[in-house]
Amino acid sequence: MLIPRARVLRNGKEKEINSEELVPGDIVLLASGTKVPADLRLIRTYELKIEEAMLTGESVPAEKSVAIISEDNLTPGDQKNMAFMGTVVVSGRAKGIVVETGSKTVLGSIAQEVKEIGVTKAPLQKKIENFAKYIGFIVMAASVVLFGIGIIIGESIHDMFMTAVAAAVAAIPEGLPIVVTIAMAIGVARMARQNAIMRKLPAAETLGSTTVICSDKTGTLTKNEMTVRLIYDGEHIYDVSGSGYEPKGEILHDQMSVKAEEKKKHLQVLRIGLLCNESNIYEEDGQYKVDGDPTEGALIVSAMKAGLMPEEEKKHYTQIAIIPFESEHGYMATLHRHGGKKLIFVKGAPEKVLDMCAVSADGDGSQKKEILLIANNFAKEGMRVLAFAYKEAPHDMEEITHHNVGSGLSFAGLQGMIDPPRPESIEAINGCKQAGIRTIMITGDHAVTAVSIAKKLGLGGTDTEVITGKELEVMSDEELFHKVKDVSVYARVSPHHKLRIVQQLKRHGEVVAVTGDGVNDAPALKEAHIGIAMGRTGTDVAKEASDMVLVDDNFASIFNAVREGRILFDNIRKVVFFLIPTGIATIISIIATLILGVPMPYVPTQLLWINIVTNGLQDVALAFEPGEKGIINRPPRDPKEGLSFK
């Protein structure tokens, strides 16, 4: 009933049409807030930024251009001259030529993959099916033997038939489906208290038998909140404690708090970051959030940790004019009035800002190489690095142009920021190692950032090997089959790559859990034994394809739910061990009396009564059993292990 619209150029005139009427070759116009209606090759852009998290998993909007890209086998995140169907324009304007529509788009191909993937049965479902076959065969065979022996020794056909049927009923654990359902329902309730909501009952046990967890990085292993970690003021490098947008933490030098007399230089770096800024930090429901660019939000928080208050600083440094950030210029500049002076503040890419600096803050322009080296070292740790500079402006200046800031700036410093790992995720990954569960990180982010976060999380050892989407594109399934055994970090991947990784892990006999939040994750979520969608940031498509939803988007909640899954399987196994002996004992006792030639101990009615008394309600109590000690430190069960044996 609600059809997306697209603004196109046809016959030299702009017109709005239903997006389903688009054909390859149409020229589409994009503006802020527009949802991209088809896959477009961009031919003209102006400050275009597109939110592609649903396809790439990146939290920062992608900057787009029209430049030709000569490389092949690129993932959607690296195709900077393309706009993909379903993504949203955050800012700027553009024109693009439709190259694919409908099912042939990147989004359409994901939908097609989801459609083609069959339902993956939970390991518990397979175990119960196999158990039912074995029990059925054994009970039928025992009943036939019982009936045959009775006839041979002279019992009537009628009596032996009734006895054989009653023995079969007694031996078959008909209470098992009920107790299994109750046990799973209890497991689901317990997991919900751990912020893990199960959409399908069998998935509750699957999590307990998981051998590999393939996790997204952004928002699951990390906080999805950019945080300044390092500051350089031209002389010293300072550490910044705290994480996320909550302004709690301090500036440290050599693990010591910075003295008041040492603050002057690094306060200038932080002040520029705070004031040369178009975003805001606000508090909602006890949580701090950023209104605007996550990078700019991190700069505000780092300034607040040093004691700079945004409202006071804006009052003392009144903003007069601004040059917004533009990708082709690589910087942003603002003009401020402070006392009787006017100041220009600039922030941007280190290479660009340093080219605009006549001298560095201490008057020695030869430091530029050293500054760039420090910036590169920050970048090698997976950080996004920004440089800051300033200069005094003429008293009569009321407007600011690119010419005004193109030269004569004084270098103030650098700030390096990263989306930090969740502290509880580090603990959870260590817990997974002890539990014999391997954790794999699959992200759409760049390889350098992925490796840096992986090392902080303790993934992949000291020499972390990473495979990129570009390498996966040219890798055969057989090559990938051998690689997935050892590689724990995958970067810059596309949706199809994630699906292939899961498929090859399953070929190794692993029980695979996969986390995801975007449309791009849907095929892998559906293919995995248990798909885990994010509750806060997850798309409806991801939740629909998943078996479980994480309320708090936290990897630690998965680890807590694993324990509940193991308790659930143990309780089901206890029920089986309780139900089977009674039925088997009944058949053995009848066969023994027939062979010994003594009267049968039960009539058919008594057999049924014994079945009700022994298997009625007692087995239900086992479904409520708490977990055994050390259950989480056991290695995962062998996927081939049956329900009734170890």
Q: Going by C-beta distance under 8 Å and a sequence separation of 6 or more, which residues neighbour residue 290?
A: 225, 245, 279, 280, 281, 296, 297, 300
Radius of gyration from C-alpha coordinates of the chain: 32
Question: What distances in angstroms separate CA 598 from CA 10, 143, 217, 595, one per listed residue?
Answer: 97, 19, 71, 8
Secondary structure of residue 642 in the 3-state scheme: coil
The SS3 call for residue 62 is strand
Please provide the DSSP assignment of 347-389 as one string: EE-HHHHHHTEEEETTS-GGGHHHHHHHHHHHHHTT-EEEEEE
From the list 216, 233, 521, 553, the catalytic residue is 216
Q: How far apart are CA 320 and CA 335, in angstroms?
A: 5
Separation CA 597–CA 618 (nearest Å): 34
Maximal C-alpha separation, the chain: 121
Lookup: tokens for 509: 């006999």
**DSSP output for 374-435:** HHHHHHHTT-EEEEEEEEEE-TT-----HHHHSS-EEEEEEEEEE-PBPHHHHHHHHHHHHT
Give just the sign of the alpha carbon dihedral 522, 526, 532, 533.
positive
First to last CA, the chain: 55
In 3D space, the residue among 318, 411, 344 whose CA is nearest the CA of residue 372 turns out to be 411
Contacts of residue 220, defined as CB under 8 A and 6 or more positions apart, other chains included, come to: 425, 515, 517, 534, 550, 553, 554, 555
Neighbours of 72 (CB within 10 A): 8
d(CA 380, CA 415): 14
CB atoms within 10 A of CB 629: 7
Please calculate the CA angle 564-637-424 and round it to the nearest 5 degrees.
45
Closest CA to 206 of 644, 548, 577: 548
Helix 604-615 to helix 157-171 angle (10° resolution) is: 10
Is 463 in the active site?
A: no
| Beta strands 384-393; 438-442: pairing state | unpaired
Residue of 591, 197, 240 lying closest to 417 (CA atoms) = 240
Give the span between the Cα atoms of 645 and 525, in whole angstroms: 30
Catalytic center residues: 216
